[in-house]
Amino acid sequence: MRSARVAVVLDIACVLIFVIIGRASHTKGESLAGIASTAWPFLAGLGIGWLASRAWRRPLAILPVGLVVWLSTVAIGMIARVVSGQGTAAAFIAVALAFLALFLLGWRLLARLARRYQPHSAGS
């Protein structure tokens, strides 16, 4: 259960980093309200992805968990942006897909590699 808590915090952090970098690169400002306004569609998609994949069972799994979480975050995030009147230019969708793949799948890959190459204790 501990790894699930860490995983959800890392996923949320990835989405918030994406939002903060994006807002900074477009000089939108770093107000808490602005970050929340941009982040909520992606956080909603992230939550739905966690539920759909039952990510808490195998939070480090790239397939299917990471894939479902990543695609849900982007797809539902973009749909929610359209419904709420926010923009979804093709370039933005491509950047979101690439950035969130790198981060949401990347940390899982690094965690799995770290687990695989952990030294075992002498008695094991």
Residues 50, 8 contacting (CB under 8 angstroms): yes
Residue 15 token pair: 């989405």
Torsion, Cα of 89, 90, 96, 97 (10° steps): 160
Residue given tokens 């939108």 in the structure block: 28
d(CA 45, CA 51) in angstroms, rounded, equals 10
pLDDT tens-digit profile of 55-84?
Answer: 999 999 999 999 999 999 999 999 999 999
- SS3 assignment, position 65: helix
Residue-range domain boundaries for the chain: 2-116
Check if the beta carbon of residue 29 is closer than 8 Å to that of residue 19: no
> From CA 17, how far away is CA 89, in angstroms rounded?
20
Is pLDDT above 70 for 48? yes
Q: Which amino acid is at 54?
A: R
pTM for the model? 0.91
Give the angle subtended at the CA of 33 by the CAs of 28 and 38, to the nearest 5°: 60
Spatial distance between the Cα atoms of 7 and 13, rounded to a whole number of angstroms: 10
Query: What are the tens digits of pLDDT across the range 99-109?
Result: 999 999 999 99
pLDDT > 70: percent of the chain: 94
